[in-house]
């Protein structure tokens, strides 16, 4: 072996060691794990996948619009925490729609005590999703109808300083941020229907049992 060969052999492990010690590898593993956990399972129609991924984005504009109010002057700590918590909770609730097309919606994740790896019963996912879809559709439809009528959900007149009554760009931004909420319920209903249809036994098709069935 020549000196050149020895120098090449010694230099080869350096990039490997640098990559192993660097943080990009850890970030890559997290991204890979995230994509694997939320990737659509086999048999999910394309329209159901698009609908499930769209649900969190129907809630995101209103959540972002609401957050600056938490930092207005004159607002107490309790109200600030409520606004932040409401935005986070809304996004978390909307994100559960992704579980209706992903693996963690068909088998409990490993971090769930006592249920890790077990099959999620179909009604345990479909019933809450269907009920939520009906409730959200009724709620946001009623909210916008009352807004157009100039009253609140309680039937009281809307204050003149409310964003929808302010006029101009403020009213326009309010409408753009809150109108997508009308799609939350129907999109969730569509994804719940696809989930039920995919996991329910079909006539003439033998049902898989145990670990074989998703």
pLDDT of residue 122: 92
The whole-angstrom separation of Cα 106 and Cα 120 is 5
The whole-angstrom separation of Cα 86 and Cα 27 is 29
Distances (CA, A) of 32 to 28, 29, 52, 116: 6, 5, 20, 21
State the pTM of this model: 0.75
**65-121: per-residue pLDDT in tens?**
988 877 877 778 888 899 899 999 999 999 999 999 998 888 887 777 777 778 889
Distances (CA, A) of 203 to 194, 200, 207: 17, 10, 9
**164-189: per-residue pLDDT in tens?**
777 778 888 988 999 999 999 999 99
Interaxial angle between packed helices 168-178 and 46-66, expressed in degrees from 0 to 180 and rounded to the nearest 10: 140
> Could you tell me the end-to-end alpha-carbon distance of the chain, in angstroms, rounded to an integer?
57
């Amino acid at each position: 072996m020549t000196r050149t060969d020895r120098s090449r052999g010694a230099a080869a492990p350096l990039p490997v060691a640098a990559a192993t010690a660097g943080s990009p590898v850890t970030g890559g593993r997290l991204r890979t794990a995230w994509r694997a956990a939320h990737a659509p399972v086999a048999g999910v129609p394309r329209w159901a996948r698009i609908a499930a991924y769209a649900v969190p984005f129907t809630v995101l504009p209103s959540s972002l619009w609401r957050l600056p109010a938490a930092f207005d002057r004159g607002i107490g700590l309790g109200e600030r925490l409520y606004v932040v918590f409401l935005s986070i909770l809304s996004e978390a609730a909307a994100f559960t729609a992704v579980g209706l097309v992903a693996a963690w919606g068909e088998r409990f994740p490993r971090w769930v005590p006592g249920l890790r790896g077990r099959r999620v019963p179909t009604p345990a996912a479909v019933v809450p999703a269907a009920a939520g879809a009906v409730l959200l559709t009724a709620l946001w439809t009623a909210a916008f109808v009352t807004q157009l009528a100039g009253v609140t959900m309680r039937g009281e007149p809307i204050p003149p300083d409310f964003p929808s009554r302010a006029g101009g760009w403020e009213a326009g931004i309010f409408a753009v941020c809150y109108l997508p909420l009308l799609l939350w319920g129907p999109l969730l209903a569509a994804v719940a229907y696809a989930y039920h249809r995919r996991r329910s036994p079909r006539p003439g098709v033998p049902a898989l049992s145990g670990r074989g069935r998703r």
